[in-house]
Amino acid sequence: MAEVFDPKNIVWESEEVDNARTKQEANAQSDTEFSKMFAESNEKASSGSTKAPLKVGGKITGTILMLSADSQDVIVNLGNKSVGILPYSELSSSDRYTNLKVGDLISAVIVGRTGSEYHLSLTGSTNLKSQEDIKNAYTNRLAVKGRVTSENKGGFDVVIFGKRAFCPISAMDKKPINDKSQYLNQEFEFIITQYEDNNLVVSRTQYLRMKEKDALIQLEQDLSQNPFLELSGTVTRVENFGAFVELDNGIEGLVHKSELSWGKVIDVSDAVTVGDRLRVKVLKISKEDTRVRVSLSVKSVSQDPWETVDEKISISKPMEGTITKLEKFGVFVELSPGIEGLLLTGELSSNKKIKHPSDVVKVGDKISVYVKEIDRLKRRISLSLSEGSSSSQDDSPREWVTKKDNKGLGIFGKLLQDELDRHSK
């Protein structure tokens, strides 16, 4: 069948010229916009980056110039008419970078150079393509990837770009190693610490410390903008004084037992176990010489129970509590997680004198008490075994505590003194 001629299909010469001109103008406009964007980012990169020279192994801050999930590379303007190429896969592998966009500043490590183009890495890890790259990584202290293939007497055998390297057991992790097999057939980042006659010695610990240092700088910057920042981490070790938590950014901190819960924590292992995931806040970062201590809190993430004390505690109504601490002047009773009251020693008996609460009760005992008074400002609660005071004149608490100096009792002594003053009125 003959093709039907349709005049609408004719493309006139003038239209071809117009189409070509439109395409050319679009390209020119795109080039102009790119040049303008490059100039703007150049100015931003110059103001946001350090003035350190660009060199392999150095850290640099630049402005994202091009960012697209369809592209394998992220283009970063480093200033001084230099650009960096960052693998997009490094951004997509971390939740921290999900909100990055064109124009944002980003910090990375220079791991290589081709002309005016610098190859970047967020982890500081370089992709080895030749034996010369191994030497370059050693010279510039760049991280390299290696696979742990076997264990030996002093550590581990690691294969890096087809070459065997040795990693001492002390250089494999920051924490003590009890089971070497957990590292076998795993791929990690290492720093080459020795390169002589093609003999390689590597350290994963140095890499972890390097990343921890970078993460600490970033954390301090984040906290300066948001002091109430919440972080996630994993419990790595449990001690009788608290739990060590490795944050998702690689920093290890300590949650003291008093910060694990608003309630009384007697045994840390009852509160958390190794492997538990926790939400925490940073209380303090202490630096002593080369050591850094990060103090964390779990209870600060949750609501202070004293904010709702009126909903949980009622005056003159019986409540069951748990004895958490014994002092000569009285016992502390937990009425609700994070809320404790004081029951004076004299309240424990109405017919005989008790030298110490341990004569009649012990920590962990359940006890039924009445709330006599709530001081919300000082966070103190006075307790009794009955609705009215059960102490006679002979059983006055003053008889038992004024024989000793209360000055060393701190808040307990102050609480006791307040109670004694009230009894004497």
Question: What is the CATH T-level fold of the domain 306-424, as seen in this structure?
Answer: OB fold (Dihydrolipoamide Acetyltransferase, E2P) (2.40.50)
The burial class, CB within 10 Å (0-12 / 13-18 / 19+), for 136 is middle
Nearest one of 263, 302, 306, 265 to 280, comparing CA atoms: 302
pLDDT tens figures, 22-44: 555 544 454 455 455 545 545 55
Question: What is the CATH T-level fold of the domain 141-205, as seen in this structure?
Answer: OB fold (Dihydrolipoamide Acetyltransferase, E2P) (2.40.50)
pLDDT tens figures, 266-301: 889 989 999 999 999 999 998 877 788 999 999 999
pTM, two decimal places:
0.58
Mean pLDDT of the region 240-252:
91
Q: What is the distance between the alpha carbons of residues 43 and 37, in angstroms, rounded to a whole number?
A: 10
Q: What is the distance between the alpha carbons of residues 259 and 202, in angstroms, rounded to a whole number?
A: 38
Which pLDDT does position 405 carry in this prediction?
Answer: 39
Fold: same for 226-301 and 306-424: yes
User: Check: CATH 2.60.40.10 for 226-301?
Assistant: no
Band of the pLDDT at 421, cuts 50, 70, 90? Answer: low
pLDDT tens figures, 170-186: 999 988 888 899 999 99
**CB environment 85-102: b (16+ within 10 A), e (fewer):** ebbbebbeeeeebeeeee
Both tokens of 298, joined, read 């779990």
Domain residue ranges of the chain, discontinuous segments joined by +: 46-121, 141-205, 226-301, 306-424
User: Check: CATH 3.40.50.1950 for 46-121?
Assistant: no
